[in-house]
Every structure is written in C-alpha cells, then in structure tokens.
Structure 1
Amino acid sequence: MRAYLNMKKLLALLALVVLVPVFVRSLNPSLNDEVLGLIVFKADIQDPKGKLASWNEDDDSPCNWVGLKCNPRSSRVTELNLDGFSLSGRVGKGLLQLQFLRKLSLANNNLTGSVSPNIARVDNLRVIDLSENNLSGVIPEDFFRQCGSLRVISLARNKFSGKIPKSLSSCSTLASINFSSNQLSGSFPPGIWSLNGLRSVDLSDNLLEGEIPQGIEGLNNLRAINLQKNRFSGQVPNGIGSCLLLRTIDLSENSFSGSLPGTMQKLTLCSYLNLHRNSFTGEVPQWIGEMKSLETLDLSTNKFSGQLPSSFGNLQSLKFLNFSANGISGSLPDSMVHCTSLQSLDFSQNSMTGNLPAWIFKSDLQEVSLSEKKLGGSITASTPSSTANAGQNLQVLDLSHNSFSGEIASSIGVLSSLKIMNLSRNSLVGPIPVTIGELKFLDNLDLSQNQLNGSIPLEIGGAFSLRELRLEKNNLGGNIPTSIENFSSLTTLILSQNRLTGQIPAAVAKLINLQNVDMSFNNLTGGLPKQLANIPNLVSFNISHNNLQGELPAGGFFNTISPSSVSGNPSLCGSAVNKSCPAVLPKPIVLNPNSSSETIPGSLPSNLSHKRIILSISALIAIGAAAVIVVGVIAITVLNLRVRSSTSRSAAVLTFSAGDDFSRSPTTDNNSGKLVMFSGDPDFSTGAHALLNKDCELGRGGFGAVYRTVLRDGRPVAIKKLTVSSLVKSQEEFEREVKKLGKVRHDNLVTLEGYYWTPSLQLLIYEFVSGGSLYKHLHEGSGGNFLSWNERFNIILGTAKSLAHLHQHNIIHYNIKSSNVLIDSSGEPKVADFGLARLLPMLDRYVLSSKIQSALGYMAPEFACKTVKITEKCDVYGFGVLVLEVVTGKRPVEYMEDDVVVLCDMVRGALEEGRVEECVDGRLQGSFPAEEAIPVMKLGLICTSQVPSNRPDMGEVVNILELIRCPSEDQEELV
C-alpha cells in the first residue's frame, strides 16, 4: 500500500513538472521546479546504496542535497555529479528542469537505455559525462543540433552502436570528445576537423573503418588524438604535422599503411607516439630524432626495415622504446648511450646482428628484451664487472633465441634487482654461476636449450623468490640440490633432457605451490618420495625415461597421473604403469640362542632359548591377535575399576570450595584434582553428583557427554566430561591449551568458563545456552514453530563471524555441524566444541574422522587423504554444508528407500538445471527473498568446493554475506 501511494505521488509530481510547471509555480511560489525535476529524475532510477537519501521532495531547495552544487547567489543548481553511486535505471526528463546546469556527470554507474537528444540542449551545459555505464542504442542524429555552450562530451565505455552523428560538427565550442570503448561503426566523421577549439579526441576501441580524411591541419589547439583498436586504413593524413601542440598520438591496432608523413618531425612537443600493430613500411625515418620530447615510442609489429638511425641518440627524454616484430637490421647505434632516461628497450623479433651493446648494462634500464634476433658474441664481455654499480635497476633481461656463446659471467650477481632472466635458446657453455643465488628478487629463470654443464649449484637456493625455473635441454649432471626447498613460491620446475643423477629429493614435496614439473629424460634413480602426493595444485608431473623404481605415491594428483608421464622407468610399479607392486612382507623373526635368559615381553621360556626358532607370518599374526585379545580384556577390566574409583574421588573434590589448597595447586596425584574457573566463584550447588545423573545429561558427542549443573550463585553451566582421556595431552599441555581457548571470546562463541583436571578425568565448564541446538530447530521442530528466513540468515552470518574470529586466532574448529551450533534465548547462534582437537597429542585425521567428524556429510574431502594438509579450509567446507542445511531444511545426507541423497550434490544439480529456488525449505512457503536465498546457497556451494584453495576464507564469507543482506525497508515483511 505504501509503495502504491509513493508511486501515485511520483506520477503526480511528473505531471506537474512536465505539463503545468507555470501553473504550479503560480499556486505555490515556494515550490522549486528544480526540486521537482530532481525528484522525477530520482523516480526513474534505483539507488541500492541509499546514496540519494538526502533528496527530500519536501525541501524548498536542493542545494544541500548530496551530489549537487548551486550558485551561491541565485541558489540555482549548476552541477550534478553522481559518479560511482551504483545507480541503475534510465536517465529521465526530470533533468530538463535544471536550466542553469553547467556540469552533468553520471559516470561509473549502471544506467541503461538510450540517451535523450534533449540533454545537450540545456543552454548553460558545458560538461556531459555519461561514461562507464550500460547505455545503448544509437546516438540520436540531432543530439548535437542545439548544443549551446557544450565543451566536453564523454560517452566512453558504454554500448552505443551505429554511426557518429554528423551534427557533431555543429558544436563549435567542443574541446573534448570521448566516444571510446563502444560499438560505433562507419567512417571517421570529417566534421570533427572543423571544430577549431578541439583539444582532444578519443574514438578508440570501436568498429570504425576507412581512411582518415584530410583537414586535420586546421586544429591548432589539438593536444591528443586516440584512434587505437579500430579498422582504419590508408595513410596518416599529411597535415598532422601542422598540429604543433600535439602531445599524444595513438593510432595502434589498426590497418594503417605506407610510410610515416615527414611533417611529423615538426611535432617537437609530442611525448607519446604509439603506432603498434599496423602495416607501416619503409625505413625508420632519420627525423624521429627531432621529436626530442618523446618519452614513449612504440612502433612494434609493423614492417619497418633498415637500420636504426643514429639520431635516436638525441631522444634524451625517451623512457620506453619498442621496435619488436619488425624487419630492423644491423646493430643498435652506439649513440643510444646518450638516452639516459631510457627504462624499457624491446627490439625482439627483428633481424639485427652484432654483439650485445655494452651500454645496456651501463645505463639505468629496467627492462631489456632482445630475443629472437641474430645477435652473437659473448654475454660475458658485455655484463658489468662485480665492482660496477651499473645495472642495479635492471629487472627484466631477455636475450633468448640468439646466438650468444661463452659462459655466463659470475658478475651476473650484481644485477641485484633482476626479476626475469631469460637466456634460453643460445649456445652458452660452462656451469651455472653460483652468484645466481644472489638474485633475491628473481622470479623467472630460464636457461633452457643451451650447452650448460656441471651441476646445479647448491647456492641457487638463495634465489628464494623464484616462481619458474627452466633448465631443460642442457648437459647438466649431478644431483638435484636440496636447496630448492627454499623456493616456496615455485610453480614451474622444468629439468628435463639433462644428465641429472641421484634421487628426487623429498624437498620437492615442500613446494606446495608447484603446478608443472618435468624431470623426464635424465638418469634419476631410487624411489619417489611419498610426500609428493601432498602437493595440492599439481597439474603435470613428468618423470618419464629415468631409472626410478618402487611404488608411485598414492593420493592427490598421482591417483590420475598420465601413463606417459611415468613411462620409461622399468622398475616403477603402480596402476599408472599397469604393473602391480610386490607385497612387502616382514622377514621371519629369528631369536638368537645366545641371548640373555632374562624374561622380557614377548620372549620364549628359558629352557627353549638355546634353540633357533623361525616363526611364520601366519603364526605371528595368530599369536599377536591372541595376545591383543587377552591384554585387552585385562586392560578393560582394570580401567573400569580405576574409572569407577577415580570418578567417585573426582566427584567428591568438585564439592570443595575455591579456597581449598587442593583446588588452587596443580597436582598429578590420582586421588586429587585441580579445579580452575576463569572468573567468578567455582563452587557448585549440586556438586559432581549431577555429572553422574542421567537426568542432567544434555547430550553426547565425539568428545564426550555434556551435563547441566548449577553454580552456588544459581547460574547454570554446562560441563563436558571428556571421553578421550587416552588421547589427552599431559596436564601442563592440557592446561595451556584450555587457557588459550578460555581467552577466545566472541558473541557467537560458547564461552569456556573453566576446567577440572585429574589424570583420569577431565572436565570443561561452559556457559549454559538455553535455546537448544540448531539441529533440533531445523529437524525436530513441531507444528509451526520453525525458523523464519531472517532468523536463518542471522544464524548463518553469526556462525560465519565466529569461525572467522577463531581463524584469526589460528584455531581450527574441525567439527562444524548443526548440533554444535546452539541458539540462545534471543535467537543468536553460539558455536560450541571449538578447538578441542588442540587437546590431543597429535592431529590424527583418522581419530578426528571417527571421534570428531562423526556427523556424516560435514567432513571435507581432504580428511580422506592421509597426505593432504588440514587447514581452516576444512571449517569452510563444513560451514558450506551447514549453510545448505539451514536454507533447505534438509540433513547433509538423507537415506531414502532405495537411494542416498547428498545435500551438496542435490543443490548443485538444481543450480545447473536452473531450479535452485525449489531447494529452499518448503516450510517458508515463499516468505523468503530470492535475491538473498539464492546467493546464500551459491555461497554454500562455493564453500564446499572439492579443492581447498577454491574455498574462500571465512573473513571473505562474512563480507559476502553482509553484501547479500540488502538494507531494504520492506525486508521485515519478507521474512
């Protein structure tokens, strides 16, 4: 009803603005038509972030509204700037009421529809900026018919199509035109050259074609022209040299041809000239040296030929020079030593010859690429000496695919800033210099396809920033150095086609970022380290044609490794090579007849010790099984007696007050214990009797049973009696870990208030949460008492915040499930049982699988793989399942009569078929916002990705959930 009344009000305002503005003013002189126009404009758009909340239709003036500026004398709106407000919708006619508007900027929004031809007709309008929206359609032909005082027009980065209107030439006051990144077609509008005041024109990234018309010489004020990424052809207009103020020329990625017009030498103020990817021909003109203001010169991917003129030495302001992919011959002129500002030099893919210029390493160059040429000679002769300071700024050195010979100079280590070094495909000989290890910032090292010999130096590990290491097709021998374990960021390791020997070091398994490994065609021996299966992101691992033996690693990538990647190793076994591995049986046990006659566990009677007895495997198994059974029966009997005794004693001490010495002092005596409360009085009113009373039991989980009892002050608490005593750490470590957990406080975490310790009994004391578990609310609710959408969303968000808080404190929950999410009296979620795995002596995933992750469906797939590292991403997986459970109201795994339904698979299938909305809990009966429920389910599916690295962090999950929850006024009605 409210929305209906608002719409009626807006329609009435529209009628007033468009039909009878004069009549309105006569009836109510205080009513400002600019206010009305802006309110009508606002009615045509959506404002999801509430940026225009200050726009109030009851105000007498809009001058205090956000995004507006007014003339202080007349109080008339002169500027409307709503850049980046995330607005959508259409640009309506309400703006026509702003007759004194000088600047209209609606850039970087999501506005759609076409553009009205009337906007440019506002008499005082100087600037129109509608860039970075989704406006479409054809620019109306009469858009520029009456453009008044318009000086700047930008429609860049939209979806406009069709031709540029010819009426553009009637805007004689235009100084800047930007129609870039649209889908405009047709020819270059010749009328543009008649705009004498034009300072910049940008038509880049469109579908314009044909030749550029003559007449540009009349633009005496032109500073910049950008026509890149179109389909222009023909020659550059000869008159371009008359535009003496030109500073930027970008004609790249077109089909221009012919030679460059000689008049361009007059453009002495030009600092940027980009002609990349065209079809220009002829020799590089000598006169380019006259354009002394050039800072960027890119003539790459053309058909220039001949030698580079010595006049390039005059370009002392030049910073970036790119002549790659041309037909340049000869050598780089020595005069370029005077290009003292040069930072980047690229002459790759040419036909240049000669030696590497020595001045390259004596300058302040940062990037040098001279690959795929015909350069020769020795690199050593050109590299700087170890005492020189030159080359300190060089970051990229690419001399690949040439004919360089000789050794790599040891002085290469002085290039301390080097990030990329590519010397591949040359004729280099000798060893890899140990000084490579001094390049601490080196990211990519490629020395492949040379004739290098010797071994890979151990010192190479000093280049710890390496991400790619390529040494294939050389004559390298020796072992793979263990120092490669320093390359923690390494993604690519290619060592194939060398003479490497020895084993593949286990250090390789520490490189968890590895994706591509090739060690094929070497002389490697020994077995493969089993830890290789721990590398999570492997895409390829080629070890073919070596002398490796034994069983392939099991798990991870190696479960699906290609047979061709392991071929040529006759002694390897496993499914990938279609060869079963021989059973590894223990040798028979041989008892030494000369051994001592003392009785030890498992020894034979002394009267038989003089005989040498060999027991078969089957006999050993039978004897062992019998012994285990006997010992087990005895142990259980003894433990039962001890537990009964210790439980009684422990229960008694719980009734002691905090003032007793025994409750303050740590002890390891079985007859006493230690009770610690982190705050408040630790005394219990009902004592430990409650712990043994089934009537007070709240539930049981993987760690133990939980009971309710009451403190002396009447406050209830929940006490967890651990049933994993055999796995619990020592008292000192137990107390240290519990105290850490006690310090972790969050509104959505169940507070750990204290603990009790004896060697045979451990208790954890928690706050009591009265509302029951999320599991009961979802699956055991009765009648109409079920969770609303708003309650479910808050539970999901609160749980996410609690997990993010745990992860910030380096605590992994390990046991996310709906029975461990409790609901307090106000409906807020509180996550329980967090961090209890820290109490175990080691992280045994099989113990966790059976004890902690007992609820089927929540366990991350990496728990099934013994070699994959368990991280916070396991919690993210369990949280993702929980999200789907909360939204759908279904259990993670449900057993039907003849089928088993896995919740993740069901929702993922529904999403692929476009019916994910059907998965929402039917009890909500449509009373949920689809714009929230569907993104939440998609987030749940992302969290349950099979690959841990694809799951988001919990901090990111919280941010996503907060973005999904829209601050709508009608939200409460939906839930």
Structure 2
Amino acid sequence: MMQISVCVLFLILLAPVMLVFSVDPGFNDDVLGLIVFKAGLEDPKKKLSSWNEDDNSPCYWKGVKCDSASNRVTALVLDGFSLSGHVDRGLLRLQSLQILSLSRNNFTGSINPDLPRLGSLQVVDLSDNNLSGEIPEGFFQQCGSLRSVSFAKNNLTGKIPESLSSCSSLATVNISSNQLHGELPNGVWFLRGLQSLDLSNNFLEGEIPEGIQNLYDMRQLSLQRNRFTGRLPGDIGGCILLQSLDLSGNFLSGELPQSMQRLNSCTSISLQSNSFTGGVPDWIGELKNLEVLDLSANAFSGWIPKSLGNLDSLHRLNLSRNQLTGNLPDSMVNYTKILALDISQNHLTGPVPSWIFRMGVQSISLSGNGFRNGNYPAHKSTPASYHGLEILDLSSNAFSGEIPSGIGGLSSLQVLNISTNNISGSIPVGIGELKSLYIIDFSDNKLNGSIPPEIEGAVSLSELRLQKNFLGGRIPAQIDKCSSLTYLILSHNRLTGSIPVAIANLTNLQYVDLSWNDLSGSLPKELTNLSHLFSFNVSFNHLEGELPVGGFFNTISSASVSGNPLLCGSVVNHSCPSVHPKPIVLNPNSSGSNSSISSQRHRHKTILSISAFIAIGAAAFIVIGVVAITVLNIHVRSSMARMPAPFAFSGGEDYSGSPANDPNYGKLVTFSGDTDFSDGAHNLLNKESEIGRGGFGVVYRTFLRDGHPVAIKKLTFPGLIKSQGDFEKEVKRLGKITHPNLVALEGYYWTSSLQLLIYEYLSGGSLYKLLHDDNSKTAFSWPQRFKIILGMAKGLAHLHQMNTIHYNLKSTNVLIDCSGEPKVGDFGLVKLLPLLDHCVLSSKIQSALGYMAPEFACRTVKITEKCDVYGFGILVLEVVTGKTPVEYMEDDVVVLCDMVRGALEEGKVEQCVDRRLLGNFAAEEAIPVIKLGLICASQVPSNRPDMAEVVNILELIQCPSEGQEELE
C-alpha cells in the first residue's frame, strides 16, 4: 500500500513536467539551437547577454520573436549587433523560423545551403557581412516558401546559380555589391512573382537576355555598375508595373527600345555612363510619372525633344556629358516640381531662357556649353522662386556682362561657379549677404575693381577662387571673418598693397595662391600659425624682406616665392642684410670757446655734405639696381609667357640651310648620325603632327631620312636653361642611358629660344591611356599587367644605377611598345632645366598629383631615388586596380593609396583588383604585388626598398613559395 502511494505521489509531481513536454515538444530545440548558434560567435558588445541556456523560453531574449500561440521562435533579427563568426547549423533547429536577419555584422565563411530546409522560412537577410565563396546551387533548390533573399555587400564570388530560376515563390532578390561574374541566367526571367531584383555592383557580363517581359509584377530592376554589353532587350516594355529602372555604369549601346514608352508606372530611369546613341526619343514625354530621369554620360545627340516638357512630375533631370545640340525647349517651363537640372558638358547654345531660374530649382548646372546671356538672375531684387537655389554652375560658357547686383537675394546659395566666361565689371557687395555660400569661383573672367570688404559676410565660405581676372586694390583685411576658408586662390590679377596680417587668422587655410600680382611689403610673420597649410604661393610679386621662419615656411618650395628679388632667406639662397646700429662719433676738438664752436660747425657742415653725397650716391645705386631687377623680372615673365621665337622648323620652311651660316637655324644633333628629317620642317611642329602634351612640353611625330620614326618634344620653358653647354652636356649624358625599359633619347636641337629633344617613337600609347581611356578596347590580362610592373621596375633600377632620378614618374610617362613591353620616358628633365625648381616645379608637381612623394613638399629633405620608389608604388596600385591615384567623386575625393591600404586592413584587398579582370587573376601574385606597392609608397623614405630590391622581390613573387614570406 505504501509503495502504491509513493508511485502515485511521484506521478503527481511529474505530471506538470510531462504536460509541458506534451504541449510543446519542440520547445527545448529552440533554446538549444540558439545557444549552439551563440557558442560559435564573438559578441564584443555583449548584445546577446540575455541569452541564458538555463532559461526555459528564448522568447524574451534580445533579437528573438516568438509566435504568441505556439511560443516557437518565428523571427531572429540581429542586425547591427557587431557579431562575428559563422552562421551555425544550430539555427536549423528553429523549425518555425520565418525571418532570419543578420545584416550589418561581421559573419564570415560561406552560405549554409541547408537554411531553406526550414520549411517556414520566408526572409533571409545576410547582407553587409564578410561572407565569401560561391552561392551554393543547393540553396535555391529547396527554397520552399522563401520570398526574400539578400546577400548584398559581401565577398561572394562565382556565378549566379541556375537553380535560382526554380524559386517560384521569390519576390525580392538582392545580391548586389559582391564579386559575381558570368552572364545573367535566362531562367531569371521565369520568376514570375519577382518584384525586385538587385544585382548591381558586380562583374556580370554579356547581353541582357530577352524574355524580361515575363516579369509583369516587377517593380524594381537594378543592374547598374556591371559589365553588361549590347542593346537593351526589345521587350523590356512588358514590365508595365516597373517603377524603378537602373542600368547605369555598364557598356550598353544602341538606341533605346521603343517598347519603353509602355513603362507608364516608372518614376525613376537611370541609364547614365553607358554608350547609348541616337536622339533622346520623343516618347519619353509620355512617361508622365517620371520623377528622376538620368541619361548622362552617353552618346545621345540631336536636339532635346519638346515632349520632355510634358514630364511635369520631374524632380531631377540629368542630360549632362552627351552630344546634345540646339537650345533648351520652351516646354520645360512646365517643370514646376524640378529640384535639380544638369545639362552640362554638351554642345547646347543660345540664350538661357528666363524660366530656368523661376522653377524653384535647387541645383542648376549649365557648364561646358555655348550658352550666352539670357535672363539669368540679373535683377536688383530676385524673385522669391530664386531663393531656394543652392547650386548654380554657369562655368565654361559664353556669358558676358556683369554679375547682377541682386545676387545677394539668392539667400540659400551654397555653390556659385561662373568661371571661364567673359564676365566683366566688379564683384557686387551683395556677395556678402550669402551666408550659406561655401564655394565662389569667378576665375578666368574679366572682372575688375577690387575685392569688396563686404565679403566678410559670407561666413560659411570654404573656397574663394578669383584667379585670372583684372582685380586690383588691396586684399581686404575683413576676409578673416570667413573663418572656414580652406582655398584662397587670387593669382594672376593686379592686386596691390601688402598681404594683410588678418590672413593669419584663417586657421583652416590649406591652399593659398597669390602669385602673379603686384603685392608689396613683407610676408607677415604670423603666417607661421597656419598649421594646415599644404601650399602657399606668392611668386612673381614685389615682396621684400625676410621670409617667415617656422611651421610650413620651414619647408616651403623656392618656386612658391620666386620672382620676388628683394625677398631674403635660406629658401631663396639670399641671406638677409645685417642691421647695425649707427656709430656714436665723439669730436675730440670740441670746447667751450666760440672759435671752437665755429670750427665745429664748419667741420660738421663739411661732414654732413660728404654724408649727404654718399647717401645720394647709394640711393641712386639702389634705384638703378631695383630698376634693373624689375626690368629683368619683366623680361623673365614675358619670356615665359610667349612662345619661342620662330626658327626653320616652326616657320614651315624646308630644312636646307646651314646652321653654321644662318643665325635663324640652330644646332641639330642625332646620336645616330642622321641630321635631317625626311619630310622637311613643314611637317615637324605642325598641329597635324602633334601626338601629345605633357608638363614639360608638346610632343610631335616625324621621320628621319632613313624612314625611322621619332618623337620630338618641344620644351615649354626655354628660358630656364643656363647655357648651351650645360644643356648639351646633360642631353648627351641622358642619351647614353639605354635600357629595354627606358625610352631612348636619340638627339636634340638647340637655339637660345627653342630646344627640342628627339626620342624613339612608340606607337602603343601611354600606360595611362590604355588603363583609363574610355575609348580603349584593351583590357590588360593579369600576366600583361605583371609584365608592365616588372618592366617599369627594371627600367627605374637601371636609371638609378646610372645615378639619375626621374623626378616626374606617372602613368602618362610610361609608354608601351608593340610587344607590350613598358618603357619609362621623360626621365631627368628637371636636371636638364636647372632653373625649373625655382620657377615652375610646383606646377609640375600638381600635374603629377598623387605620384609625388611627401618629401617634395619639404625643402629640408633631400630628394633621392626613394622619391621615384614612391611614384613606382603608386603606379603599381594604378596598374593592379585600374584606378587613378586621385579620383574626384561628386562629393568626395578618393586617394588610391589610402583606399587600398584601408582595404588591406579590413581583409578586403582582393576587391581592389581591377574589375575588368573578372576574377581572372592570380591572387597569389596580385596580393603580394599590392602589398609591395604599399611598401614602396610608404610615407617614410627609409621604409621604401631600393628599385634593385623591388626587381628581386617581383621575380620572387612569380614563385610564391619563395617570395610570399618576404611581403607578409
């Protein structure tokens, strides 16, 4: 009886537990699955601290949602939790899971192909992580009820799985911003329930296949920034519910298919940066719901159709960078909702219509056309509709007249650019009323008068560009109220007076150019407080006295202060005169007697007469010296400004005279012994023979008598060469430097006003053109690129072995021969022009922006071969990535070296490899080469290897097992 009672009691106590398991048999699976998932994660911010394995229910854990009826986990949303690790199989225990969202974390590894086995799973979002590998075919073969998938912003490779077409339940697919390649599977168009497809920012190629009309439920199609070619599918108009179409940044061509006129639901069409041709079609005016239309950077031609004015819902219209002609149709007056209008860089002409500024638009860009005066804001009082205008760019047109006095009424204006026109008159004082203005560019016009002191009212001003005008008067001291100024560019004007001390209060200044004015006085010593200065140019003024000492001015380039003969200091190699106190002279014959006083007065009078004579003579000598220096300075300016004096070649006469007997002819020397040109002089320096322009001169092509083609470089700065003897000595030295990877110097021509260099001619073009020219059809393979990098390294190593520094290394100075071998050219020209460093080196550095080593900006650091190593490192990154050293985006500047270094630190360096390689590159070579480029581009010269070492490392990289360790 006792045993029965114990058993009954045991069953009574066990009953609640048994009841729990009978009601919720899978409850422990959810806890167990999530705990197993958590065990494989790093959780630096302790976001999952509420997940406790001792809990009976996970429904109150952070990021977990449950069904109220069954208490089973239905959603796991851990977006932005900073988690890392793998997407563990433990999640497969969550059999009721409908939403899995793990975006904006650091998950690594590959995509688990078994996730869709969760039969109730509808949403998978693994975007913005570090997932890698291919998308498994099995993932879409068992997709069940899956409706939305996003793998965007990862490191996925391979092709889009063919099995994707079997997921008939899919409504949203986003695999953008990965490294997918290959063609678009035809089966994608069979996903009839698909409403949104985003495959942008990948390496997809080939033509977009026909059949897209099957996606009659499609609302959004984003294929931008891939490598799609060919024409748009003719049946694209079958997607009648399409609201957003973005195909920008591809290689699509041909005319727009007429079926697109059926896209009446479309609110946004972006086709920019392709190769579409033909006219802007009339039928676009029938897409009445369009709010955004971007056809920029194509090859559209002809007139802008009047029907475009029917798009009265437009917010943004961009037709820039095409070949459009004619003028703007008056029908555009109907644009009552327009916010941004960009028709820049076309061939449009005629007056600007009055309505363009009365539309309440926020941004207007008409730059780079042939527009002339119309009714642009020229009223003393501006209409209310102008007040919302934020960006106004009228640059590079044919506008004349004066800046309207009512400009101050544009109260919201942030950017005002009217540069490169024929605008005259003075700068209106109303400019100071523009409190929001941060960029003023009035450069390259005919403005006169002075800079108004009222400019102090433009308190947000960051850039002030007034160069190349006829402005006079003083620089207003009130400019120091513009405390945000970073660019102050006032060069090539007629400004007078001294540089105001108030400029030293502009502590954010980075670039200052006051060169080629009539400024006088000394440089304020307070300028040394400008701690952010990168460039300060006051060359060719009338400044005098000692240069400031300290801060930026300890490293200022002599070119930045040249043309001021009365400046002194170590930078200009002119020591400042010592200042001695006047001597005290005691007269030993002085006494109290009258005769002594009379004698003293006579002696003092005599001494004064002699002193006055000496002083007058000294003053006259100084005046004569100043006049002579001024005349010399004017001569230097004029010699630099005008073209070289004509001689036999430029005069178009046949080269048949004798240089020895005719002073109009110079000395022509070719190291091969051939001293004449087959076509005579009339083909030598003609425009038709021009093949390029560089920082040091213009290049022409001609032939020697033996039919041998040569390239002739006409030096731009003939007045910077000391003597014929120095020139010939240096040219002959450079001519002896020969190497398969160096452009051979084959001769020269000399007169006192013109110097030519004769180089071997290479028909393959420059490395820059082959890498960046949009018209170039060449896409270098990885072996070709490696060959170019190794060849450049060998050429530079030989150059350094011959004790020669290149000084001006950049991709435009690397030429490719017919066998694909690189040849480095233009070496040693700085030494050839010994005065260059004092006059124009800073402008040469600007032409090689991004390649120049940091020490070029520091006069106290010796320029060595390590500067070339830095430039080589940037070239390596340029060849591997296909990007220029500095890229100017719409609202940002991307420095290649910094971008690659950041990618390396984030473990994403493979993403930097040129997309044109389509994944067909040897990672075991490319990654060490990138690392080598970054080492060469080190900010510290001593950290850079010698070029001979670089050659050895590159040769080892071709055998990864030997060379890899050296770069890790």
Give the TM-score, by structure 1 length: 0.57
Matched-pair contact (CA < 8 Å) for 2:196–2:219? yes
Match of 2:71 among 71, 75, 92: 75
Match of 2:269 among 244, 261, 273: 273
- Are residue 283 (structure 1) and residue 272 (structure 2) matched? no
Displacement of 1:58? 2.2
Write the distance in 1 (CA, Å) between the matches of 2:559 and 2:178: 48
**Would you say the 8 A contact 1:329–1:350 is kept in 2?**
yes
Q: Does 1:213 align with 2:209?
A: yes
1:404-443 per-position Cα deviation (integer Å, ceiling 9, x unaligned): 1111111212111111111110111111112111211111
C-alpha displacement at 1:64, in angstroms? 2.0
**Alignment equivalent of 2:313, drawn from 317, 320, 334:** 317
Aligned counterpart for 1:241 among listed residues 216, 234, 237: 237
Conserved in 2, the CA contact under 8 Å of 1:134 and 1:158?
yes
Task: Find the aligned partners of 1:226 and 1:38 in 2 and give their Cα distance.
Answer: 35
User: What whole-Å deviation, never above 9, does each CA across 1:126-146 have from its counterpart, x for those lacking one?
Assistant: 111111111110111111111
Question: Which residue in 2 is equivalent to 1:365?
Answer: 361
- CA drift at 1:272: 0.8
Q: Are 2:245 and 2:268, in contact at CA under 8 Å, matched by a contact in 1?
A: yes
Residue 499 of structure 1: SS of its match in structure 2? coil
Q: 1:142 to 1:486 in 2, by over 3 A?
A: same
The residue number in structure 1 matching 2:436 is: 441
Q: Which residue of 1 aligns with 2:324?
A: 328
- Alpha-carbon distance change, 584 to 173 in structure 1, aligned in 2, over 3 angstroms: same
Q: 1:588: Cα distance to partner?
A: 4.6
How much does 1:78 deviate? 1.1
Q: Give, in angstroms, the shift of residue 384 of structure 1.
A: 4.0
Aligned mates of 2:378, 2:411 — CA distance in 1: 13
Q: Deviations along 1:286-308, whole A, 9 cap, x unmatched?
A: 11111111111111000000111
Aligned residue in 1 for 2:496? 501
| Secondary structure at 2:387 match in 1 | coil
Deviation at 1:383, TM superposition (A): 3.0
Deviations 1:91-148 (A, max 9, x none): 1111111111111111111111011111012111111111111111011111111111
Query: Residue in 1 aligned with 2:168?
Result: 172
Q: Which amino acid aligns with 2:257?
A: P
Residue of structure 2 in register with 1:251 after alignment: 247
Count matched residues: 574
Corresponding position of 1:480 = 475
Q: CA deviation at 1:578?
A: 0.4
Q: 1:249-272: CA deviations, max 9, x gaps? A: 000000110111111111111111
Change (3 A) 1:189 1:473: same
Per-residue CA deviation, residues 519-549 of structure 1 (Å, 9 max, x unaligned), is 1111111111111111111111111111111
- The structure with the largest alpha-carbon Rg is 1
Q: Does residue 565 of the first structure (1) align with residue 560 of the second (2)?
A: yes
Structure 1 residue 570, shift from structure 2 partner? 1.0
Q: Tell me the secondary structure at the aligned position of residue 92 of structure 2.
A: helix
Q: CA shift at 1:382, angstroms? A: 5.0
Alignment map for 1:342-741 (pairs within 5 Å): 342-377=338-373, 383-386=378-381, 388-588=383-583
Q: Equivalences for 1:775-924 in 2 at 5 Å?
A: none
What SS does structure 2 have at the residue aligned with 1:477? coil
- For residues 378 and 425 of structure 1, the distance between their equivalents in structure 2, rounded to whole angstroms, comes to 17
Give the alignment partner of residue 131 of structure 2, picking from 124, 128, 135. Answer: 135
| Partners of 1:357 and 1:382 within 8 A in 2 | no
Deviating more after overlay: 566-575 vs 53-62: 53-62
CA–CA separation in structure 1 for the residues paired with 2:572 and 2:336: 60
Q: Counterpart in 2 of 1:665?
A: none
For the residue of structure 2 that corresponds to 1:232, the secondary structure is: strand
**Secondary structure of 2:36's match?**
helix
In the alignment, what sits opposite 1:831? none
The one of 180, 183, 188 equivalent to 1:187 is 183
Aligned counterpart, 2:626:
none
- Note closer, same or farther for the CA distance 1:388–1:91 as it changes in structure 2 (3 Å cut): closer
Instruction: Measure how far apart 1:228 and its partner are.
Output: 0.6
2: CA distance, partners of 1:69 / 1:451: 69
SS of aligned partner of 1:283: coil
Once the two structures are TM-superposed, the CA of residue 29 in structure 1 deviates from its matched residue by 6.6
Equivalent residue for 1:710? Answer: none
**CA–CA separation in structure 2 for the residues paired with 1:373 and 1:387:** 25
SS at match of 1:313: helix
* Structure with larger RCO (C-alpha < 8 A, sep 6+): 2
In 2, distance between residues paired with 1:467 and 1:245?
46
Compute the displacement of 1:326 (Å). Answer: 0.1
AA at the equivalent of 1:324: S
Q: Is the 8 A contact 1:107 1:129 kept in 2?
A: yes
For 1:134, what is the secondary structure of its paired residue?
A: coil
Helix, strand or coil at the partner of 1:238: coil
Q: How many percent of aligned residue pairs carry the same amino acid? A: 60
Residues 378 and 170 (structure 1 numbering): CA distance in 2 closer, same or farther, change over 3 Å? closer
Q: SS of the counterpart of 1:485?
A: helix
Q: Secondary structure at the match of 1:501?
A: coil
Match of 1:315, as an amino acid?
Answer: L
CA gap of 1:54–1:185, structure 2 versus 1, over 3 A, is: same
Q: Any conservation in 2 of the 1:312–1:335 contact (CA below 8 Å)?
A: yes
Q: Does 1:338 align with 2:340?
A: no
Match of 2:275, as an amino acid?
A: S
CA distance in 2, matches of 1:428, 1:115: 62
For 2:45, the equivalent position in structure 1 comes to: 49
Does structure 1 retain, via aligned residues, the 8 Å contact 2:327–2:348?
yes
SS of residue in 2 equivalent to 1:69: strand
Q: Is the Cα contact below 8 Å between 1:361 and 1:383 reproduced in 2?
A: no
> How far is 1:464 from its partner?
2.0
> Secondary structure in 1 aligned to 2:355?
helix
> Which secondary structure state, in structure 2, belongs to the residue aligned with residue 391 of structure 1?
helix
1:281 & 1:455 partners in 2: Cα distance?
48
- CA deviations over 1:126-181 (Å, ceiling 9, x no partner): 11111111111011111111111000011111111001111111111000000001
Secondary structure of the 1:192 match is helix
Per the normalisation by structure 2, the TM-score is 0.58
User: What residue identity is the alignment partner of 1:242?
Assistant: G
| Structure 1 pair 484–589 and aligned structure 2 pair: CA distance change class (3 A) | farther
SS at match of 1:544: coil
- Kept after mapping to 2: 8 A contact 1:384/1:391: no
CA contact under 8 A between 2:418 and 2:442: conserved in structure 1?
A: yes
Q: 1:299 to 1:589 in 2, by over 3 A?
A: farther
Deviation at 1:212, TM superposition (A): 0.7
Aligned counterparts, 1:1-12, within 5 A: none
* Partner AA of 2:360 in structure 1: D
Task: String of CA shifts for 1:558-589, please: whole Å, max 9, x gaps.
Answer: 11110111111111100111000011233356
Q: CA deviation at 1:30?
A: 8.9
Name the aligned partner's letter for residue 542 of structure 1.
N
Corresponding residue of 1:305:
301
In the alignment, which residue of structure 2 is the partner of 1:862?
Answer: none
1:426-485 Cα offsets, whole Å, 9 max, x none, are 111111112111211111111111111111122222212211111111111111111111
For residue 389 of structure 1, report the CA deviation from its aligned partner: 2.0
1:118 aligned residue: 114
Offset of 1:325 from its aligned partner? 0.5
> Could you list the runs of 5+ residues in structure 2 that have no partner in the other structure?
1-19, 588-602, 605-904, 906-938, 941-968
**CA distance in structure 2 between the partners assigned to 1:235 and 1:591 by the alignment:** 101
The unaligned stretches of length 5 or more in structure 1 are 1-23, 593-610, 613-913, 915-944, 947-975
What SS class does the counterpart of residue 259 from structure 2 fall into? helix
RMSD: 2.4
